[in-house]
Every structure is written in C-alpha cells, then in structure tokens.
Amino acid sequence: MGGIAKGRELFTESLTSADSFFDEIMTILITSFGFVVSAQLMKSKYSPVLEYPEEEYAKVDFPFAAIGEQKIYSFKMFEILGKVANAVPLDSISYTAYEKTLDNISNVPNATILENRDTFYFIRKVMAGCYLSYYEKIKDMVVGRYGSDPLHWPPPLQFARVVRNAFAHHSIITIKNPNVPPVTWRHLTYGPQDNGKNIFTDLFVVELIDLFKDVEPMLR
C-alpha cells in the first residue's frame, strides 16, 4: 500500500457508533486487515506480528495512505479485532493521522509488496458494497430533507451521489446527462468529461472516511 511510511503526527480522532457509517467503516477495516495479513502469510509463510507478545498487539499500526493528500490514517487493528473476537461492545474506534512521507511502498524497508492483478481487488469490492449499503440507508433521509432533485443538495451530497453511481457501475464514473454541472468535494471534481474513469484512481479508505465525515452533519 503506497505511502505507509509515517511522518509527524497531525491529529487523532474517533469514529463512533452514533455515526451513520460506523458499521460500514468497521467492515472495510476488518476486511482490509484480514486480507493483507492473510496474503502476507500465504506469500511469505511468515508474519513477524504472530511472534509478538500479546501485550504488544495493541501497539501495531495498520495504516491507510491518502491518494490526493499527504496524510495517512492509522488504526490499532489488533485492539479492534480483539474486542470483536471477545464480544466486547465496540462503540468507537480511534485513528491517528500522520504526514505521508513516502509515495511508494517499494521504498519502505522490509515491506511486503503484493503486486498482481488481484491486489486489493477484493478490498475494493467490499468498499463498493459497503458504500452502496450506506447510501441506500441515508437516501430517504437526504430526499426528505433536501428534495428529490440532486441539483438542490449540498455539494458533498451531490458528490456522494456520483460516488454511489460509480460504485454501482463497477467503480466507473457514470454521469449520463452531458449537461449536468460538475460536482466538487475537497480537491476532487467530477463531470461528464470524467465518464469511464475508475473512481479508485482518486478514492480509497482515507477519502471514503473523509467523505462520510463531511456528509454526516448534513443528516442531523
């Protein structure tokens, strides 16, 4: 995963079960962690993490690098999984943002590099499915508050709808009306000229979390 080397700490935040996207993010995190650890074991027949003393597990970071920004969101996945495995109620998950210092995992000493056609394919499929589930969950709320015409929605919700349509079309941006104005969220803008673009070029776990967080206040 590109950019996993961490620089200075930027901030620490928490996601809570009160957030409408909490279950979806939990699913994405656990699936991502399980995939990466399993793939590492299958490829190398060894994982240094498995030899850590039990008290060290909670210290292990699992980072996700942003694509368009110089930042990383890092989670204590063993702490999260430990609670899930032991049926401990999980009402919040914390993560720490760090400055991204490398753009290529190949520059990270001793990193396990997974490079083939299916690398992170299944994580992306889970992300798409979770996002579609999330969008269907909030859609009636959005329409009830802002009306049925997406052009009258706040910009983050307009952008969220375009992301939904992409995930519903094999992660390909699909804007059928050639005259519709572009949608913008943070540093990203999509319009009819972007039809056919794979949305994972611009968006992965960090961006999805940020989009969820920006949409959340508009649902309350």
pLDDT per residue over 17-41, tens digit each? 999 999 999 999 999 888 777 777 7
164/213 same-domain check: yes
**Chosen domain end from 76, 107, 138:** 107
pLDDT tens for 129-178 read: 999 999 999 999 999 999 999 999 999 999 999 999 999 999 999 999 99
Distance CA 144, CA 130 (A): 22
Give the sign of the dihedral formed by CA 115, CA 170, CA 65, CA 60.
negative
Task: Please give the Cα distance from 183 to 192 (Å, whole number).
Answer: 10
Same domain, yes or no: 95 and 152: no
Local structure of 50: helix, strand or coil: helix
What range defines the domain where residue 74 resides?
6-107
Mean pLDDT value of segment 170-187: 95
User: Domain check: are 25 and 68 in the same one?
Assistant: yes
In a domain, 116, yes or no: no
Q: What is the mean pLDDT of residues 92-120?
A: 66
DSSP string, 97-138: EEEE--S-GGGSTTPPP--STTTTHHHHHHHHHHHHHHHHHH
Q: Select the more confidently predicted residue: 96 or 3.
A: 96
Q: How many domains does the chain have?
A: 2
Structural domain contains residue 169: yes
pLDDT band, very low/low/confident/very high, at 194 (cuts 50, 70, 90): very high
What letter does residue 94 receive in the DSSP assignment?
A: E
* 112 in a structural domain: no
pLDDT in tens, 42-83: 766 666 666 667 677 777 788 888 999 999 999 998 888 888
Local confidence band at 220 (pLDDT 50, 70, 90 cut-offs): confident
Same domain, 125 and 97: no
Q: What is the pLDDT of residue 59?
A: 76
**Contact at 8 Å (CB) between 114 and 43?**
yes
Same-domain pairing of 166 and 98: no
**pLDDT band at residue 4, thresholds of 50, 70 and 90?**
low
Tell me if 183 is assigned to some domain: yes
Residues 6+ apart with CB under 8 A from 101: 3, 5, 6, 7
Q: Residue 176 and residue 138: Cα distance in Å, rounded?
A: 23
Instruction: Give the residue-averaged pLDDT of 192-206.
Output: 96
Which pLDDT score, from 0 to 100, does residue 46 have? 64
The answer on 15 and 102 residing in a single domain is yes
Of 107, 141, 171, the residue at which a domain comes to its end is 107
Residue 3 pLDDT grade (very low, low, confident, very high; cuts 50, 70, 90): very low
